[in-house]
Amino acid sequence: MDREAARRVLEANDRGSFTVPADGLYPYQWLWDSAFAALGWACVDEVRAWQELRSLVAAQWPSGMLPHIVFHRPEPGYFPGPKVWGVARSPASTGITQPPVVATVARRLWERARDRRLADREASELLPHLVAYHRWLRRVRDPDDTGLVAILHPWESGMDNSPAWDEALSRVPDERAADVMGPAGQEGRVRRDVLHVEPDQRPSDLEYRRYVALVLTLRDHGYDSVRATAASPFRVADVGFNALLYRADLDLLGLAQALGRQEGDLEAMWEQVEASRRAIEGLWSEQAGLYLSRDLRTGRTIPLATSAGLLPLFAGIPSPQRAARMVATLEGWGERVRYLVPSADPAGPIFEPRRYWRGPVWIHVNWMVAAGLQSYGYDQLAERVRRDSLALIERSGFREYYDPLTGEGLGARAFTWSAALALDWTAASDV
Ligand code: GLC
């Protein structure tokens, strides 16, 4: 792996205080992309790594929410941009969030810090912001204390076009999208993604209209409130999001302890964390051999096996028996694809190896799955996931995602998290 090339990707996507996921297609700051970017920056410039997280919390809402995109500077042509979101804040942002991995990243930066004084100072400054964020997630997205937080938009899952959201999304009326997208059939006018990437690798026009209609509904309800949660026509307990929140809760509490900080209600948070572990255990499917999401509007389990269902491994949730079952599931997937980890079960009818979140491999998911496997002692399988990831990068460059059958690179090029995690992965050894 060419570490210099990876570093050049980060530098090319650096906008001073934040890193864009990819030039052109993604011209702003995305929440979980930025967190992973910080892991890459930590390998080359620690000050810059902390800066990345600082710029995220600088956009925090008074409620505690961390928005999924921060529109630092206007980028004409991006859709849906600041005008559609209609958030009267500075910096402008969207009104929804994304998988909460920031606390996990902050803890890793702190633990591996070479400059200890810098790390203590930066982590102490981040801590209250992260506590407020996690408390917001529990209060507003789980008002009934079920232990599972809801996502209100597929974009909040970070796995935007996952087949797991199809049914819940199909109940979202798309008519309102006309207000900002014009009549059906005219999507080409506003969709920027399909100008950059082949349409067969992106969501369909109808899905896109529903995404936008959902934004407008959430906007009507002010986005970050219990009211918006209740009113959302899309309400899902995403197993990936919940597992990452559980892991991030533990990391936040661990960081607070290490720093000797007593941030407000940390005691209550420990109890919540245990309740959330039990609730996530309730998403286990023996038949599928992994965890599944739940549609909170209907109360039904969503019976589709995707890579999100493996993320509880990264959170240390499954018992050793369940972890062994998940390993068997993943090994089964590994017999059907050349490169692990496909984003959807390659034996299932939903598998599309080239389309966004319906089959392709994503490097950041691999990084988390490999770490989870390793923590359960499955070193060989963890090593396969790591080797496959680096082989994809060798073969096709730092792409947004990859075809698990052929290794072809797909989506945007010079992609930040692929470069950042390759740096993290090869930091100790020269692969
Ligand atoms: C897409 C992905 C999401 C990512 C964003 C920027 O929306 O689905 O996970 O954060 O692009 O890279």
Q: What is the pLDDT of residue 268?
A: 80
Answer for the pair 165, 214: CB distance below 8 angstroms, yes or no.
Answer: no
Distance from chain centroid for Cα 47 = 24
**What six digits make up the tokens of 320?**
């050793």
Give 187's DSSP letter.
G
Compute the distance between CA of residue 376 and CA of residue 370 in angstroms, rounded to an integer.
Answer: 10
Q: What is the pLDDT of residue 190?
A: 79
Q: What is the pLDDT of residue 333?
A: 98
> How many Å lie between the centroid of ligand 1 and the Cα of residue 309?
18
- Ligand 1 atom nearest to CA at 22: 12
Q: What is the pLDDT of residue 192?
A: 72
Q: What is the pLDDT of residue 198?
A: 77
User: Count of CB atoms within 10 A of residue 148's CB?
Assistant: 24
Coil/strand/helix, residue 306 = strand
For residue 179, give the H/E element and its range.
Answer: helix 178-181
Nearest to 293 by CA among 310, 318, 316, 317: 310
> How many Å lie between the centroid of ligand 1 and the Cα of residue 395?
22
**Maximum alpha-carbon separation in the chain:** 58
Q: What is the pLDDT of residue 429?
A: 53
Residues touching ligand 1 (Cβ under 6 Å) are: 21, 26, 30, 32-33, 158, 160
Give me the residues of the chain with pLDDT under 70, please.
Answer: 201, 263-264, 429-431
Compute the distance between CA of residue 79 and CA of residue 97 in angstroms, rounded to an integer.
Answer: 17
Tokens 């210099």, located at residue: 4
Sign of CA dihedral 105, 106, 112, 114: positive
Distances 330 to 285, 380, 391 between C-alpha atoms, Å: 14, 12, 18
Q: What is the pLDDT of residue 431?
A: 43
416-425 and 363-375 helices cross at what angle (nearest 10)? 30
Selected catalytic residue, list 160, 166, 167, 281? 160
Compute the distance between CA of residue 131 and CA of residue 126 in angstroms, rounded to an integer.
Answer: 9
Q: Which residues pair with 202 in a beta bridge?
A: none
Mutation choice for ligand 1 from 160, 161, 418, CB with most ligand atoms inside 8 A: 160
Give 109's DSSP letter.
H
> How many Å lie between the centroid of ligand 1 and the Cα of residue 2?
24
pLDDT tens digit sequence for 103-134? 999 999 999 999 999 999 999 999 999 999 99
- Ligand 1 atom nearest to CA at 157: 9
Which residue, judged by its Cα, is nearest atom 4 of ligand 1? 158
Q: What is the pLDDT of residue 430?
A: 45
Compute the distance between CA of residue 148 and CA of residue 150 in angstroms, rounded to an integer.
Answer: 7
Nearest to 252 by CA among 368, 110, 373: 110
Compute the distance between CA of residue 363 and CA of residue 337 in angstroms, rounded to an integer.
Answer: 15
pTM given for the model:
0.97
